Structure 1
């Protein structure tokens, strides 16, 4: 009888265990899908006209913003934030760039006070701030000031950095692991070294050496009770000693290997009493593969068909039998779908001030013509130019998915040799465990986002407080930009006193007036938040060092910059007028009164009483009031009164304004809803100067200088079409001959552009970056010579 009971219990346990196992994978998939569907992410790439600049020069740039999942142009965000940061993350330049259909462009004027050194150029959207600075676009930028040398490198930065990364995340006692390592020299480049791993008894347990770019790997089995360190020697004789990560007493280890049959063998080993593991592979929002395997003799083997894995980076996560993540690593499948760009100048050699014509073709991977959106730079090559670390293809597919900087990302996309494949594996091993927040995912937590996407335009945000306490909820706050074009916004505070204004067509440097209605709130203080992120990546660029042989080139470049700024500075300060919607928010006024066409009165009260029939002026308890009269309704509340877009609430002061300063009055006689406002009619006064210089502001209002979206600057290119222009004595010392952020090819994949050489002989390089609406990205370079 007892034997029968025992067998029944065991059967029930087996059934319940099988049911649990069957539930874990679908639960993982469902939780992941539910979580990722709530998260939209962007990815950004910047193409600059060159990599190093002198003070006084302009940085020209093009931004490509894409959906991080499919790499197609992202249309949600309409504003990009661009910054140049010094080594302490202090911004020396900041600007806001308008995005249209996922792209935008602009320029930055390098201040003369900037010190020589390496700076961080970064770009992001307001929405990207929700995911931290690691998703921002970043790249090093060299700024040179002939008046000062780069700061000397600290002695603490003069050693090679050696780091170790166990595959899957951890070393585990008694289990063999593959360990990736990275050796980086003080100049930020990978370095060749050889070394050995020794235990605390000085016994050698493994040997290693770098393969390429300072990366490599070795196998190693930690033993209980032992500690380990690596001893390595680099070519200059420097000896490095580095402790290895401590091994866990219990845990899981994974190992991924390629087979000759196009499969991936995924082996999971453990010293824990367990009977099952799960492999979950995803990319972006997509679940690619979900597998499970039984553990036999502390080992489980899963096989993955590489054909089922998409191009790009895939995340492979191992879960234990309880559904907890225990290991993770990355796999990269090089893309086959690329934008092919063919570009060639009509000659290989040109004279000074000669026309250069360049024809472009854009095709997909099977040579079908494709329309493309491109950016092009043509610049002089000299010893001051530093190699660009990323082209758009390698950045979109690889660099943006990995942590920190790494050397020559294009190498991994453009080579398919045995060595390059091994180098790629070494690189991926150095990425460690990315650790998606699976706790949040599995608990089906709804992600919370602090920053909104700027879908319509730039968002100006701030807080309203009464002392240290947030103001009352739903307090109205107003923002105005005094000008002939009405720019007026209103917002209500939330429970924390926060408010925001969704602006539209908000360009250039502006004087902004922000206030509340003092009759309702006269004690609160207003503060406006900077839209630029105050979070910074941990990436540190190596200090700039200049060799003696570049001094002459630096002097020559500096002379060219000074000559250009002296002779053509006005041409370099030409801006395109933005195409803005000048229609007032209320569309069309019921009636417009041009004050000069009527009898001039000395008091505004008389003007309103005598010929503005839609307004009834009254005085109660020594306070003026106005009431609008529509076709059928007499409103009891005061109307919204705007003077050059600024609301005025003190009608007693309003009546003291000389009516001769007003050019016109526009009247909306009906009830009107505008955002947070319900107005019983609108009176819009426009002064002749439209700058409020003759109108007193509410003393509680704050006036700020505020930069809107950047105005587009014209790239200066002289033309030498005839003998007179060619023989002009005006010097032409341009080192950037051509820049266009908006070059396109047609449906046949064909485009062209032209420019003229300058007075500077030498080798020039053209760099083309771009992408299609389908997300195909590509780049191309071409060179030519200019001789005297």
Structure 2
């Protein structure tokens, strides 16, 4: 399950033989190996909605700083502000990515709603790390309307760097603002001695709505306070911590070249041994254990690390934590691959055609592309793909506009101050050192999995073979066989299908009448109830007055909603024509023709013997020809027969999707083979085959293995299994077609949405969209991820 993050470790060896304890290191190693942790970023087609509309979203699931391979399914739920669940879906995750949609009811009241997204594996950890996105939904027919809450009072907290405040040591403080509503953007403060309130010791101005900072050299016996005020005259007085007369203080400075730190001390006995451990995520990237630690400034080379939150923790000789600090690695040099847009043809005229090309990225399979009216807002404005990956995916406290810390005009000092006010919560050193690890109650299952129980006349059918006949549109009926255990149970794993699939079943024993056989199916997954309270919103509901005027965004949503039905109706026919006319890749077309849905996988390698791979014709056996062509695949021979293994484990061989003994392939002429695919891991056709399979398709069209009599299944008992929830199609109008000329008004804010634009490996990826009636600029958002270099691919700009 564990996928280790590839860091270039910067481990400083212990200075001398000091007999240091290593309880922390061993605990972290166990935690990192057994308890990897996922985080989710959600992107929406727009920022707010109106009742009766569709919500479209895209998800990226990360295991630390890499796309996750832990989970292949994601649960998504929609709640109202009273925590009443309105809808729920289960969606497939392909290479850590998924997409879906929710239809908002016409009768939905105006208010704040929440979309919760999580995986089964994430349910083993704190709910605070699950994605919980606030959604604004308008409805002019509701008796109440939403208004921003700018009247709630704000409070503040102060945090000394490293967590200690010691006599005579100059200490940096972070001041953090909190509010149920909105915190002020214009605020300042000063520090006083409580006994001399008229004398300002030091003054400062807040960076943003989250945080400000100041430094102070304290004296024992003095009670310090910070006095804060905003532009509206609101005032807060906050006590600073008690000044200790001894101890140590951890001080950190972060630059583009290195993370530097020093440990200052007061009244500490010389020769005391301290240990400092640096972690990114759940991985240790730095360690030093020394009795000289109080005498030096240490430097961790930043080029050997990755962008992310670095946690530095100071332990004493008993491995008790005495100081800790979070900082961000290379905040001034974010490692981001920016897509190159070429052949850009933009036209601000009403309903004009616009287009651009995206240069190919070698290590990216697909892009998420969103184009909006340049004057509109979107979900990336508040919490972006970058801020989830590097900040909010691991920090659970409320942060106003976290995306601001990763833009081109970002304030790195503000981000550093923010992290001074935070404590790492992905794990607690004390818990893992005492071997108090999370309780694993939910294991990730491969895609859709079902449990079944077979009984005959009410008694379990032990160790019995059961035939399952799936009715697949366009492919006929497909036969599979499973075997029950001692108690009559069996499991079907790795199913990938949408909506529902009909199938029939029969015991592989003609002596037992079908009327005596009963099979009960139960999903081998479950939605996990949300236990915690929903977060507070920046909005409040007030009574709607009869003379209230609708806001401009709501007017736009209403106008768009009226024409959307017409757009969908006209676009359906056009899209069908486009699909027929679209040129398809020959290998893809061959795969679509020969493979049934149950033999398709994201983890497949295809060899087209019709249009390419002419060298295969010279081989006497297709299995021997595969040797060396697929990573991890080995072909062993014995007495003239070939037996395939994938990463050392035996895998099955299928001929036209019927399981066969590998020895049977030796008599099959290669010239009769149209296509071969090597499938890694689970796939529906293998029913939990484990390591994968080799599927061989003959030039006869891949019909072998399907039942000859399409009516046979109707003679058996039938049932239905439910699969993944189907995503509603997002339709972009095509004004080059005259059918759209009757649309009277187009004020769409979302001009183009595609959660999965396949990246061309050689040619540029082309994007085309049509303007609305009044947009004068376009906001283009392109998101992907380079899995080789572990860096995000990100573009978010307004262009004209």
1:337 matched residue in structure 2: 335
- The answer (yes or no) to whether the contact 1:572–1:714 under 8 Å persists in 2 is no
Give the Cα separation in 2 of the matches to 1:359 and 1:349: 15
- What secondary structure, in the 3-state scheme, does the structure 2 residue paired with 1:398 have? helix
- The answer (yes or no) to whether the contact 1:343–1:782 under 8 Å persists in 2 is no
Q: Encode CA deviations 1:217-240: one digit per residue, 9 max, x unaligned.
A: 233567777765543221111122
Deviation at 1:536, TM superposition (A): 4.0
Q: Encode CA deviations 1:69-102: one digit per residue, 9 max, x unaligned.
A: xx33323311112233333443333211111122
Deviation at 1:709, TM superposition (A): 0.9
1:652 matched residue in structure 2: none
- The answer (yes or no) to whether the contact 1:118–1:542 under 8 Å persists in 2 is no
Give the Cα separation in 1 of the matches to 2:212 and 2:481: 58
1:265 matched residue in structure 2: 261
- The answer (yes or no) to whether the contact 2:395–2:424 under 8 Å persists in 1 is no
- What secondary structure, in the 3-state scheme, does the structure 1 residue paired with 2:67 have? coil
Give the Cα separation in 2 of the matches to 1:65 and 1:263: 28
- The answer (yes or no) to whether the contact 1:315–1:329 under 8 Å persists in 2 is yes
Deviation at 1:213, TM superposition (A): 3.7
Give the Cα separation in 1 of the matches to 2:88 and 2:596: 23
Give the Cα separation in 2 of the matches to 1:706 and 1:249: 69
- The answer (yes or no) to whether the contact 2:222–2:243 under 8 Å persists in 1 is no
1:773 matched residue in structure 2: 787
1:377 matched residue in structure 2: 370
With the length of structure 2 as denominator, give the TM-score of the two structures.
0.66
- The answer (yes or no) to whether the contact 1:276–1:295 under 8 Å persists in 2 is yes
Give the Cα separation in 2 of the matches to 1:446 and 1:184: 31
2:421 matched residue in structure 1: 430
In the alignment, structure 1 residue 541 sits paired with structure 2 residue 563: no
1:314 to 310, 316, 321: 310
2:115 to 79, 99, 121: 121
- The answer (yes or no) to whether the contact 1:311–1:332 under 8 Å persists in 2 is yes
Deviation at 1:358, TM superposition (A): 1.4
2:393 matched residue in structure 1: 400
Give the Cα separation in 2 of the matches to 1:549 and 1:738: 30
1:531 matched residue in structure 2: 527
Alignment gaps of 5+ in structure 1: 1-16, 364-368, 464-471, 584-672, 677-683, 698-702
Q: Encode CA deviations 1:595-625: one digit per residue, 9 max, x unaligned.
A: xxxxxxxxxxxxxxxxxxxxxxxxxxxxxxx
Deviation at 1:481, TM superposition (A): 12
- The answer (yes or no) to whether the contact 2:327–2:420 under 8 Å persists in 1 is no
Give the Cα separation in 2 of the matches to 1:109 and 1:543: 23
In the alignment, structure 1 residue 452 sits paired with structure 2 residue 449: no
In the alignment, structure 1 residue 709 sits paired with structure 2 residue 724: yes
Distance 1:337 1:39, change over 3 A: same
- The answer (yes or no) to whether the contact 2:148–2:540 under 8 Å persists in 1 is no
- The answer (yes or no) to whether the contact 1:192–1:214 under 8 Å persists in 2 is no
2:758 matched residue in structure 1: 744
- What secondary structure, in the 3-state scheme, does the structure 1 residue paired with 2:124 have? helix
Give the Cα separation in 2 of the matches to 1:290 and 1:225: 36
Deviation at 1:406, TM superposition (A): 2.5
Q: Encode CA deviations 1:10-65: one digit per residue, 9 max, x unaligned.
A: xxxxxxx99994322x5533442233222222232222211111122222222222
- The answer (yes or no) to whether the contact 2:115–2:132 under 8 Å persists in 1 is yes
With the length of structure 1 as denominator, give the TM-score of the two structures.
0.67
1:597 matched residue in structure 2: none
- The answer (yes or no) to whether the contact 1:327–1:433 under 8 Å persists in 2 is no
Q: Encode CA deviations 1:287-336: one digit per residue, 9 max, x unaligned.
A: 2211134379xx66541234354432111011011111222211211354
Two-structure CA RMSD over aligned residues (Å)? 5.2
- The answer (yes or no) to whether the contact 1:481–1:510 under 8 Å persists in 2 is no
1:290 matched residue in structure 2: 287
- The answer (yes or no) to whether the contact 2:496–2:598 under 8 Å persists in 1 is no
Where do residues 39-118 of structure 1 align in structure 2 (5 Å cutoff)?
A: 39-68=35-64, 71-118=65-112
In the alignment, structure 1 residue 351 sits paired with structure 2 residue 356: no
Alignment gaps of 5+ in structure 2: 1-13, 454-459, 506-514, 580-591, 600-685, 690-706
Deviation at 1:337, TM superposition (A): 2.9
2:663 matched residue in structure 1: none
Give the Cα separation in 1 of the matches to 2:486 and 2:214: 57
- The answer (yes or no) to whether the contact 1:371–1:749 under 8 Å persists in 2 is no
Give the Cα separation in 2 of the matches to 1:190 and 1:559: 34
- The answer (yes or no) to whether the contact 1:377–1:740 under 8 Å persists in 2 is yes
2:382 matched residue in structure 1: 389
- What secondary structure, in the 3-state scheme, does the structure 1 residue paired with 2:539 have? coil
- The answer (yes or no) to whether the contact 1:83–1:122 under 8 Å persists in 2 is yes
- What secondary structure, in the 3-state scheme, does the structure 2 residue paired with 1:168 have? helix
In the alignment, structure 1 residue 232 sits paired with structure 2 residue 228: yes
Deviation at 1:730, TM superposition (A): 7.3
Give the Cα separation in 1 of the matches to 2:380 and 2:143: 21
Deviation at 1:423, TM superposition (A): 1.6
In the alignment, structure 1 residue 361 sits paired with structure 2 residue 359: yes
- The answer (yes or no) to whether the contact 2:110–2:138 under 8 Å persists in 1 is yes
Give the Cα separation in 2 of the matches to 1:188 and 1:728: 44
Distance 1:108 1:491, change over 3 A: farther
Give the Cα separation in 2 of the matches to 1:348 and 1:741: 22
- The answer (yes or no) to whether the contact 1:57–1:109 under 8 Å persists in 2 is yes
Distance 1:178 1:459, change over 3 A: farther
Give the Cα separation in 2 of the matches to 1:569 and 1:532: 38
Give the Cα separation in 2 of the matches to 1:475 and 1:218: 72
2:659 matched residue in structure 1: none
Distance 1:526 1:306, change over 3 A: closer
Give the Cα separation in 2 of the matches to 1:52 and 1:475: 55
